[in-house]
Amino acid sequence: MTTDPGELLLIRHGETEWSRTDRHTGRTDVPLTPDGEAQARALVPVLAARRITAVLCSPLQRAVRTAELSLPRGTGVVLEPGLMEWDYGAYEGLTTAQIQQTRPGWDLWRDGVPTDGPERPGETLAQVGNRCDNVLARACAALEETGGDVALFAHGHVLRALTARWLGQGTEAGALYRLGTATLSVLGTEHSRRVITGWNIPA
């Protein structure tokens, strides 16, 4: 008798005030809104239907709180710094429209962010991709060891980049994978090929 292989469950955190207003929220540690907490709680039955045997979570509070509210009490959650959101450098807290006032046509996935700030150094596309590769190596090891699903609680852009890397694409292909707050996406395999088996599934 064979069992289905485990899959990677990607959970973007619930709504924050900054995500609600489309501000780039990298390392600023903003909390969930009341609606964001309700979104996280709504994930309970969705995640309860999965056999989760390992959980990796960004250390930023919006991801940690989402995990706390959506998983059974006592679930072991391992903080994984590699799942922190993109460091947007000088663009932290700005909307795309605000950035385009000084950089017309700017696109995060093509043009990147300033990487020379003393307080917020910013990250290149390659640096984000390297972080995602390291997280995937750790998550795949957990898949092998546990045989169940591995849940990753994190942020919109880093999870989109991680998905591109899972599929063997360049990090810039993350532009293609839109993610809403408090959604579940699933990465798995078909005939030994890495695929997306579910995407942007609302609670």
Buried b (16+ CB within 10 A) or exposed e, 83-96: bbbbbbbbbbebee
Among candidate residues 84, 177, 186, 120, the one with its CA nearest the CA of residue 195: 186
13 assigned to active site: yes
Measured in whole angstroms, how far is the alpha carbon of residue 76 from the centre of its chain?
19
Which of 7, 13, 24, 37 is flagged as catalytic?
A: 13
Degrees to nearest 5, angle at CA 36 with 122 and 100: 40
Rounded to a whole number of angstroms, the CA Rg of the chain reads 17
Pairing of strands 8-12, 149-154: parallel
Which of 7, 37, 85, 92 is flagged as catalytic?
A: 85
Q: Which residues are catalytic?
A: 13, 85
